[in-house]
A and B are shown apart, each in its own frame.
Chain A
């Protein structure tokens, strides 16, 4: 299981990356943490002519405050995000979700931007990005742009990223006043989810829902914002009846696809069960401080 032969470049600036991507087009692949790309090479599922290793580009790994929000550099390792007190304070759903991402050694190398760029439908980070109302910062040869997460994930491993663009960072707005929930069902610890739910909500003084972002992952071809289901909760308390209605409504937003593990029906069922559990816990979950 040796990777096929390829060439390797280790640019130290984004300009060099863009030049290489422009020159080699589809034959080039960006190499970040390698925790998803390297297995596909070993399995000879892909055979790029050139790997463009972005790991030595300075500054791309920073995790920093940005106003009341956060900016997480694309090269921030899963381990660094998991250990960051800033993340724990301002985006606690990531701190909850990251222990589910692979294992210790995977998290030493795997990157935040790599997971966003890969857009695995069962991955935790894209789902959290949706719940956090994140924006993806892309830099191409012609300049940079910022794409809301909700417009970024388009399908199975498919994103709004243009081939010449690099994901450089993910920006999170202030989460003040939001509460987060997260749950996933996986066959084993550290596996990609069979089904998962990430949620953020704001409740008023009367515990009524003023905002709910409900994200279902591991179910459809990508992580999906279940907006119409979530809307059923607006203005209501998260009591059993409301929760049941939201869970029942999931089918309108999420088009589950069958997996070798389970048929579409079962995956949606799991998403519903997890939705109920996550929503049920929200009222007793602390809010993010301003």
Chain B
């Protein structure tokens, strides 16, 4: 396999191709799909966080105008098997049985218990209001600490208690290190619940044809392959008769990789009724049925010696997970990531972490951009910042001093994680330069004399991306960590790439076109990429864990390189020369030495497809090639970077104004800088959103207090700052493409950078923030408690 042929189209900042359509109103999203005889689903959801379903009375609803059927848990159970989300290799992971709709007991507010199918969504909602459920309220546990108490009500009685998962990560003698410490700093940190709030809510349009025993599902989802497998197994339909198509997807961010009970119910309803069924979550139900993220409470300690070196770090993380570990990725990584990666950039003597995940009566925390890593990042960075402050050292200089050196690789983190390569120092240098850190600090000091409180916060980012077979394989989950692409030369000399990679706005497919173009010597415009149809494309993972370019890009590079070799061999036969003497460029087969055009690519294709009679005897043209790629050596590809957040605190009101944000990022080979930068910006925006605004606020009864977009505050164009992104480019050694993940780094670092910046501003007033989000009220509280 060869590497990228030339700088050529790789590295060019080409606009994303889908954008042309999308900004002209030609997108086709799930809710835009309308089928003949299609019914609309509206769910009846539990108002209680924990209750028995005593009785469901649906007579009036069934008789309501436009209603075709009302289905409850028992009806759905007749065609849809329940599931258990269990990581087989994790002995301490325990999981309850989840039904598409429970028949006897609900375990979170918003869990669906009945579904109305009607001719319009409005009529379905009218009828849903008429469904009467008799509830037998049960005691609620809303917080992990409460859930793990000895006398807590147990959410999954078959498990005995509410502990979903426990993990210990220990290197060295932490207790001895703390006993010997010159200085110990301890922080208790609360990370709020955020939700992905994709602007397009979740949508599924299912069309089961009983005659053909064939199910087609248009699904606003990141992985049509995963869902093909899930629908096939849970609904008992042979896999080749299940086709899942992902149309344009209006944002996903991890939320749309999970398996949702309401979506399963809607698809099951189509099977039961033999008619198309659409379920499009409305915004209110999104808040109580989409996965949430984080909800951690972390106690973190750092032990320092007299020189300010780190003797040890000790982390205790507790996650209020929700009522289930969501199918199919368990969400135990919320705690695993914290245990494995807290303070990972730094050298230290010993390390210990305990992670515990508890079932509580809330919606499940699931996959969302960063999965646990924002917590790991913030917890570690806050400790390092506190240490720097205590020692009177500049936080940037202190980081540089403690970083694992750029030439120390391969190595392991203090927590024991393998690291092939990082560029911590180079990224720090790049960041300090673009942000003009020295000037920011000088200005901060000057303004402070005038009573202006600015904060400058740093957060070093590690992004484990593109998790490989060693991570998911042993869990037993049917999660494919490979991706595949078919690259095909069309008769007129243009190219199609059919790929398992999916794209919800990241621009990965444009990058794939660039890769194909680089191999075949054509312009990227001559390459069309087809994706998102489980019946058509090679099997793969789809989009998650920032893998599209790292894994799918390599598969595509391999396929395109193989096609290139086939084209050159064929051309060599026609031209009576050796393939090695030929090259491809500008749509021509060229003499490799002189660059002289010998035969057009289109002519090679024409001969191959229509004039086989002219080919040398025995030559079989193969102008469509499929290759798959799976990461071999490593558990993950590691990207790294660092962010700086600059803000101003109004100490009288507690209000914060964001002034600017910078990021330096090393995500390996950059295929398309324009798109990569926007991934970083978008990720930072979501992290800042969590840091300052977004919070699913629950009361002790497990009721979501702000379940509307008016009350759940998503930042607007006025609230977020401009974000400058710079790069250090260290291609991954594992693959010829050399790309690593970049989709999550922004979110991973932004909460930590915001937090250290807030603390930097508060420190001048002797205060510290211990919970996010940082709201005017919470910062005033921090100032009062100083």
Which residue numbers of A lie inside 8 Å of B, CB to CB?
Answer: 1-5, 39, 43-44, 185, 187-191, 194, 260-263, 266, 269-270, 273-274
Contact = CB atoms under 8 A, between A and B. Distances in A.
Contacts of A43: 284, 708
B531 interface: no
Contact of B653 (A3, A44, A260, A273): A273
B682 interface: no
25 contacts: A2-B122, A3-B122, A4-B125, A4-B126, A4-B129, A5-B122, A39-B710, A43-B284, A43-B708, A44-B129, A187-B693, A187-B776, A188-B693, A188-B715, A188-B719, A189-B716, A189-B718, A189-B719, A190-B718, A260-B705, A261-B775, A261-B777, A262-B776, A266-B780, A273-B653
Given A39-B710, A44-B129, A261-B775, A190 B716 contact: yes
Given A2-B121, A185-B655, A188-B719, A262 B777 contact: yes
Given A4-B126, A4-B129, A261-B777, 10 more contacts: A1-B283, A2-B121, A2-B125, A5-B122, A43-B708, A189-B716, A194-B776, A260-B706, A262-B776, A270-B776
Contacts of A190: 716, 718
Contacts of A2: 120-122, 125
Contacts of A274: 653
B705 A187 contact: no
B713 interface: yes
Interface string B750-786: 0000000000000000000000000111001000000
B652 interface: yes
Contact of B716 (A1, A3, A188, A266): A188
Interface string B650-692: 0011010000000000000000000000000000000000000
Given A43-B708, A187-B775, A273 B125 contact: no
B134 interface: no
Nearest to A4: B126
Interface in B700-756: 705-706, 708, 710-711, 713, 715-716, 718-719
Contacts of A1: 125, 282-284
A1, A266, A269, A273 — which one has the most chain B CB atoms within 10 A of its CB? A1
Contacts of B713: 187-188, 191
A274 B776 CA distance: 14
Interface in B324-345: none
B697 interface: yes
Contacts of B705: 260
Nearest to A276: B652
Contacts of B120: 2
Contacts of B653: 185, 270, 273-274
A188 B776 contact: no
Contact of B777 (A5, A44, A266): A266
B560 to A, nearest CB: 46
Contacts of A269: 780
Nearest 9 pairs of A and B residues by beta carbon: A189-B718, A2-B122, A262-B777, A1-B282, A273-B652, A2-B125, A266-B777, A188-B716, A187-B713
Contacts of A191: 713
A188 B718 CA distance: 8
B718 to A, nearest CB: 4
A43 B780 CA distance: 33
A212 B122 CA distance: 52
A4 B126 CA distance: 7
Chain B, interface SS category? loop
A5 B715 CA distance: 33
Contacts of B693: 187-188
A187 B778 CA distance: 12
Contacts of B655: 185
B130 to A, nearest CB: 11
Contacts of A44: 125, 129
A262 B777 CA distance: 6
A185 B126 contact: no
A3 B120 CA distance: 12
A261 B120 CA distance: 37
Contacts of B708: 43
Contacts of A266: 777, 780
Contacts of A260: 697, 705-706, 711
A44 B713 CA distance: 21
Interface in B633-664: 652-653, 655
A103 to B, nearest CB: 8
Nearest to A189: B718
A99 B653 CA distance: 21
A209 to B, nearest CB: 23
A39 B697 CA distance: 21
Given A185-B653, A262-B777, A270-B653, A5 B126 contact: yes
Interface string B547-581: 00000000000000000000000000000000000
B639 to A, nearest CB: 31
Interface in B97-142: 120-122, 125-126, 129
Nearest to B692: A187
B84 to A, nearest CB: 33
A235 B722 CA distance: 47
Contacts of A270: 653, 776
A266 B782 CA distance: 13
A3 B775 CA distance: 33
A188 to B, nearest CB: 5
Contacts of B777: 261-263, 266
Contacts of A261: 775, 777
A121 to B, nearest CB: 15
A4 B64 CA distance: 13
Contacts of B284: 1, 43
Contact of A185 (B125, B283, B776): B776
A260 B283 CA distance: 20
A202 to B, nearest CB: 27
A212 B77 CA distance: 69
B282, B283, B653, B780 — which one has the most chain A CB atoms within 10 A of its CB? B653
A189 B652 CA distance: 19
A1 B708 CA distance: 11
A249 B144 CA distance: 44
Contacts of B121: 2
A274 B652 CA distance: 9
A149 to B, nearest CB: 26
A185 B650 CA distance: 11
Contacts of B706: 260
A188 B129 CA distance: 33
A85 to B, nearest CB: 26
A77 B448 CA distance: 43
B660 to A, nearest CB: 18
Nearest to A274: B653
A188 B710 CA distance: 11
A261 B706 CA distance: 10
B58 to A, nearest CB: 19
A242 to B, nearest CB: 18
A2 B127 CA distance: 12
A4 B121 CA distance: 11
Contacts of A188: 693, 713, 715-716, 718-719
A39 B282 CA distance: 13
Contacts of B715: 188
Contacts of B122: 2-3, 5
A29 B500 CA distance: 53
A189 B719 CA distance: 7
B426 to A, nearest CB: 37
Nearest to A260: B705
A266 B781 CA distance: 9
Interface in B281-340: 282-284
A218 B452 CA distance: 26
B43 to A, nearest CB: 12
Contacts of B718: 188-190
B658 to A, nearest CB: 12
A263 B776 CA distance: 12
A185 B654 CA distance: 10
